[in-house]
Amino acid sequence: MRKLLLLSIIVIVGLVFIARLFYLQVYNEDPYSLFDDNAIRKVYDYPKRGYVYDRNDNLLVANQPSYDVMFIPREVKAMDTLEFCNLLKITKEDFIKFYDKAYRYSPRLPSVFIPQLSRIEYAVLQEKIRKYQGFYIQKRSLRDYQTTIGANVLGDIGEVNNYIIENEPYYKSGDLIGKQGVELSYEEVLRGVKGIKFIQKDRFNRDIGPYKDGIYDTLPQPGKDISITIDSKLQEYGELLMRHKHGGIIAIEPSSGEILAMVSAPSYNPNLLVGRQRSRNFSKLYTDTIAKPLFDRSLKAQYAPGSPFKVLSALVGLQENVVTTQDQFSCRGGYYLGSRRLTGCHAHASPLSMNQGIAQSCNAYFVNVYRRIIDKYDKPHDGMDVWSNHIKSFGLGDYLGYDLKIGNKGRIPDGDFYDKWYGKNRWSSTYNISNSIGQGEVEATPIQLANMVAAIANRGHFFTPHIIKKIEGQEIDEKYTTPNHTTIDKKHFEPVVQGMFDVYNTGTAYSLRVPGIDICGKTGTAENFKKIDGKTTQLTDHSIFVAFAPKDNPKIAIAVFVENGYWGSRFAGRIASLMIEKYIKGEVTMNSMENWILTHSLEDEYAKPYSGKPFGINRQSALQVIDKITKDTVINPISNRPSPFNQ
């Protein structure tokens, strides 16, 4: 019985094999694939990656030749490993590590052994590569940055990881791919298409020549050149002004949505991430937890927008017909609820109309407008939803849809947000008045604020911000040429624009005027609180400034954030005025202002407790109130903190 069982198993297995072979030979309709044929070696020919130019056709990114040492693990034979390691300047331990890693990936597929040899290293190895069976040299191109600026804009390329290989069939082990910036966003355009050569091998696994005389070989298709919207001279100047400072600058052309400058500080030289030192340099940049040079503050940093947000409160108030440009509100050094001061303010004339409220950045004025908006409706939830929808129509509180792969949504709260926080019908407009002056729960990124200003400059519409200007032989996405309209009627913008114009003429930016240019702007100072060792500590405030110019037919809209920069006109305002003059005039005439910015560093301010004196309130008392509030489960710990320093 056991003999029959064993014989039956052998017969069944044999029949299965015969049936499968018969099917493959006679009935299988799957096309024969050269890629699956082990008797044919595949050699990829990498295309020239597309060049990157700025808006004025200045070359920013080109290519340079590079050489990878490739190998097929199972074809490697006994060799003089010591000599080989000396040629490549690696240790024997490195040799074993590289070999084992590639063998685990695939013993029969080509892998990169040593990437990106220099020309000198290639010349030395080329003479002896024939001695090392299983190894060969593959030529490709690396990026050659023609500039030291715009690392966050241009990005870099690096080797693909296993996840990409598994999910995108185009890429093989050792291939390079865009990792950040336009290199990532426009990878498919820039990379081109690889060519391939099929090499026939004999039964001893030796190359004997092109398979079928190369009729199946393909030539590489070079990547397409692109032009980006950045003005490299303006970008360079912005990075110069932001040296020894942390923050971000975004400049936009209002009439098109094209990003003119996108500065993130601190930054780094993009050439650091090219060649064999890329990995080491990347690690240094990545582990720098103070400067965080790889963190793009212009797109990802979320800040309280501060007083620039007040202009939106004015626009929503006009749209909701709860205030006119002539209505006046008193300011007694802040906004009072009964005898309790909820927010402070700096010294200025009182009472104020809308124009004066914007020009002098009066907190009390905009708290009154905000409360009228929310209290117009029977339920604060409904009023908050209306306010939120108006604000979001300017592109805040959500991703803008620009063509860069990173960013943050910011935050614009609505009625549901506060219902969840306090409970349904258990809150009112007094619980979140800090929203009116750009504090509280409101957060925005620099690009969102720049887009907001562009919408105001256009009197009610904006184009989705984008970095691409031109693609060789291809049209850009039409969403970048289609206007987005806000919920505010066009007629309401002119008085707000005039108020921003008077910020420069009579208001908080009077000292920042640029000769010959009519600028509309808004200063801002955002309080900067942080829990340190369980205690609420106020760090030096952030300096914020937004502007557009000229007043009519604007050419540039800009937002500047300088972390720990004290108040709006101190750092951010100066930088914005200099950037505007640089772009419109092509030169800077305000030399004393420029020298001041270039000679003042903020490196010592980061993570340093605030040492200044606030307007109209004792700082220690303020911190005690904040600590008390954070322990209270009823009062919002964010929006009811004192805000004495928000001009």
| pLDDT higher than 70, residue 35 | no
- Cα 496 from Cα 519, distance rounded (Å): 13
pLDDT number for residue 608: 52
632: confidence class by pLDDT, cuts 50, 70, 90: very low
- What integer is the mean pLDDT of 603-608? 58
Does residue 380 fall inside a structural domain?
A: yes
Q: Which of 448, 443, 557 is nearest to 497 (CA)?
A: 557
pLDDT number for residue 42: 77
- Cα 293 from Cα 379, distance rounded (Å): 46
Residue 228 neighbours by CB distance under 10 Å: 28
What's the chain's Rg over C-alpha atoms?
Answer: 31
Does residue 23 fall inside a structural domain?
A: no
Higher pLDDT, 626 or 388: 388
pLDDT number for residue 521: 94
| pLDDT higher than 50, residue 644 | no
68 and 164 both lie in a single domain: yes
Residue 204 neighbours by CB distance under 10 Å: 6
Does residue 204 fall inside a structural domain?
A: yes
Does residue 10 fall inside a structural domain?
A: no
Question: Which range, of 151-160, 214-223, 476-485, 502-511, averages the lowest pLDDT?
Answer: 214-223
183 and 87 both lie in a single domain: yes
The owner of tokens 């990829």 is 44
* Separation of CA 343 from chain center: 33
Does residue 34 fall inside a structural domain?
A: no
244 and 363 both lie in a single domain: yes
CA atoms within 13 A on the CB side of 211: 21
pLDDT number for residue 249: 96
For residue 303 the two structure tokens come to 């800040």
Range of the domain at 432: 232-286+298-630
Does residue 641 fall inside a structural domain?
A: no
275: left (phi over 0), alpha (psi -120 to 50) or beta: left
Residue 298: φ, ψ to 5°: -70, -25
Among 228, 250, 270, identify where a domain stops: 228
Question: Which range, of 36-45, 455-464, 614-623, averages the lowest pLDDT?
Answer: 614-623
Does residue 12 fall inside a structural domain?
A: no
| Three-state DSSP class for residue 37 | coil
Higher pLDDT, 24 or 535: 535
Eight-class DSSP state of 527:
E
501 and 572 both lie in a single domain: yes
Higher pLDDT, 339 or 471: 471
Among 228, 251, 274, identify where a domain stops: 228
459 and 586 both lie in a single domain: yes
- Cα 320 from Cα 313, distance rounded (Å): 10
**CATH number of 395's domain:** 3.40.710.10
**CATH number of 196's domain:** 3.90.1310.10
80 and 218 both lie in a single domain: yes
- Cα 162 from Cα 174, distance rounded (Å): 10
Query: Which tens digit of pLDDT belongs to each residue from 372-397?
Result: 999 999 899 999 999 999 999 999 99
408 and 279 both lie in a single domain: yes
416 and 525 both lie in a single domain: yes
- Cα 320 from Cα 50, distance rounded (Å): 50
Q: Where are the beta strands (DSSP E) in 451-581?
A: 461-463, 468-471, 483-485, 520-532, 535-549, 556-562
pLDDT number for residue 24: 58
pLDDT number for residue 611: 46
| pLDDT higher than 50, residue 638 | no
Query: Which tens digit of pLDDT belongs to each residue from 550-601?
Result: 999 999 999 999 988 888 888 999 999 999 999 999 999 999 999 999 988 8
pLDDT number for residue 620: 36
Query: Which tens digit of pLDDT belongs to each residue from 270-317?
Result: 989 887 778 888 889 988 888 899 999 999 999 889 889 999 999 999
CA atoms within 13 A on the CB side of 190: 29
| pLDDT higher than 80, residue 507 | yes
Domain total of the chain: 2
The owner of tokens 């942080």 is 530
Does residue 636 fall inside a structural domain?
A: no
Q: What is the mean pLDDT of the chain?
A: 84
Highest mean pLDDT among 312-321, 419-428, 627-636 belongs to: 312-321
* Separation of CA 469 from chain center: 18
Query: Which tens digit of pLDDT belongs to each residue from 318-363?
Result: 999 999 999 998 888 777 777 787 777 777 777 889 988 898 888 8
pLDDT number for residue 219: 87
Q: Which of 309, 303, 298 is nearest to 261 (CA)?
A: 298
510 and 388 both lie in a single domain: yes
471 and 516 both lie in a single domain: yes
pLDDT number for residue 58: 95
242 and 132 both lie in a single domain: no
- pTM for the complete prediction? 0.82
Among 187, 206, 228, identify where a domain stops: 228
535 and 598 both lie in a single domain: yes
- Cα 220 from Cα 193, distance rounded (Å): 6
Question: Which run of H or of E encompasses 355?
Answer: helix 354-360
